[in-house]
Amino acid sequence: MTTATATSGDAGDDPRNSPPRVHSILDLVGNTPLLDVTGIASGLSPRVRLYAKLEGLNPGGSVKDRAALWMMRRGIESGALRDGKTVLDSTSGNTGIALAMIGAALGFPVSLVLPENVSIERKRIITAFGANVIFSSGLEGSDGAILLCREILQKDPDRYFKPDQYFNPNNPQAHFESTGPEIWEATDGRVTHFVAGIGTGGTIMGTGRYLKSMNPDVQVVAAEPDDALHGLEGLKHMASSIVPGIYHEDELDRKIPVPTDNAYELCYRMGEKLGLVVGQSSGAALFAGLQVARDIDEGTIVMVFPDFGDRYLSTNLWHGWVDYAKKRQSR
């Protein structure tokens, strides 16, 4: 549904060296690679491997491209999304970018409700795709955006198509049909643990279901902020949040609380050690993955890295780099 097929081109006689030819930017969603990041850790069993699924290589720059594409395509198929409708949803940023990109590619106007304190990079990317942005209170986080979006929809329900990423079953279905099979194939079925952060819950629910359908012994592990007042943009502390309808905690094998500062420091270390600059939710996934890795003697751990760090350069994540650099120099 979302992957491009490579065809012979001008890059030589071997078609494997040829870039894919696609008809739409949407054909590039999915088929992201796994990167071996085991070297970031020390003291692990030599039979443990850590892999990061680099979702920042999707055309919209994040894992949310998958869910947004599935929700909008299914909306078109059902007739709920049609000419004259405007796509409306609440988002902390990445889903908004994905919806804005897909709306532009498919010819639908998009309006998005965002907390006013999301990064300036995210705001600018969304508007670059031509979407309309409506800001909610930054103090209320993603929950405030959800509530304001509901108010807007209630005033003129016939005008909008709301993908409703927090309650739309096509969100986890996207990962059941794409992310899960990609991980299974890339690891030759050897994956033993799957780690992802919790935002809407779509990634961990859908991918986890697929992997368990292939091997019930695969452990599904959630990386969750350790406090309601956290700095891990895009992730939810479920005990203090509106719980998404697609999220079912009983399907998890384990939840690992992630301190904001630890996730940030791992982001900095990955930039230095791996040449990989990622967002804070990737640091959270690595923190949880390392906890799992230290608890086992053998296994293949796959973590979702939802995006890269370039869309957070103006945020507290990279402001914290100054203090980290000072500590590093004093060692």
Catalytic residue among 53, 62, 64, 119: 64
In terms of domains, do 40 and 133 share one? no
Domain boundary among 130, 161, 192: 161
In terms of domains, do 237 and 128 share one? no
In terms of domains, do 178 and 273 share one? yes
In terms of domains, do 53 and 190 share one? yes
In terms of domains, do 203 and 272 share one? yes
Catalytic residue among 90, 178, 281, 282: 281
Per the domain annotation, does 109 fall within a domain? yes
Per the domain annotation, does 167 fall within a domain? no
In terms of domains, do 93 and 231 share one? no
Domain boundary among 131, 161, 191: 161
Task: Report the pLDDT value the prediction gives residue 325, as an integer from 0 to 100.
Answer: 62
The total of structural domains in the chain comes to 2
In terms of domains, do 298 and 178 share one? yes
In terms of domains, do 180 and 106 share one? no
Per the domain annotation, does 169 fall within a domain? no
Per the domain annotation, does 272 fall within a domain? yes
- Tell me, yes or no, if 64 is annotated catalytic: yes
- Tell me, yes or no, if 273 is annotated catalytic: no
In terms of domains, do 284 and 178 share one? yes
Per the domain annotation, does 3 fall within a domain? no
Per the domain annotation, does 89 fall within a domain? yes
Task: Report the pLDDT value the prediction gives residue 229, as an integer from 0 to 100.
Answer: 82
Task: Report the pLDDT value the prediction gives residue 9, as an integer from 0 to 100.
Answer: 39
In terms of domains, do 94 and 30 share one? no
In terms of domains, do 43 and 68 share one? no
What is the full per-residue pLDDT of the chain (331 aa) written as tens digits? 444 333 333 434 454 566 678 999 999 999 999 999 999 999 999 999 999 999 999 999 999 999 999 999 999 999 999 999 999 998 878 999 999 999 999 999 999 999 998 888 989 999 999 999 999 998 888 789 989 999 999 999 999 999 988 899 999 999 999 999 999 999 999 999 999 999 999 999 999 999 999 999 999 999 999 998 887 877 888 888 889 999 999 999 999 999 999 999 999 999 999 999 999 999 999 999 999 999 999 999 999 999 999 988 888 887 766 666 666 666 6
CATH code at position 109: 3.40.50.1100
Q: Which domain holds residue 314?
A: 15-61+174-319
In terms of domains, do 204 and 110 share one? no
Per the domain annotation, does 6 fall within a domain? no
Q: Residue by residue, what is the 3-state secondary structure of the chain?
A: CCCCCCCCCCCCCCHHHCCCCCCCHHHHCCCCCEEECHHHCCCCCCCEEEEEEEHHHCCCCECHHHHHHHHHHHHHHHCCCCCCCEEEEECCCHHHHHHHHHHHHHCCCEEEEEECCCCHHHHHHHHHCCCEEEEECHHHHHHHHHHHHHHHHHHCHHHEECCCCCCCCHHHHHHHHHHHHHHHHHCCCCCCEEEEECCCCHHHHHHHHHHHHHCCCCEEEEEEECCCCCCCCCCCCHHHCCCCCCCCHHHCCEEEEECHHHHHHHHHHHHHHHCCCECHHHHHHHHHHHHHHHHCCCEEEEEEECEEHHHHCCCHHHHHHHHHHHHHHHC
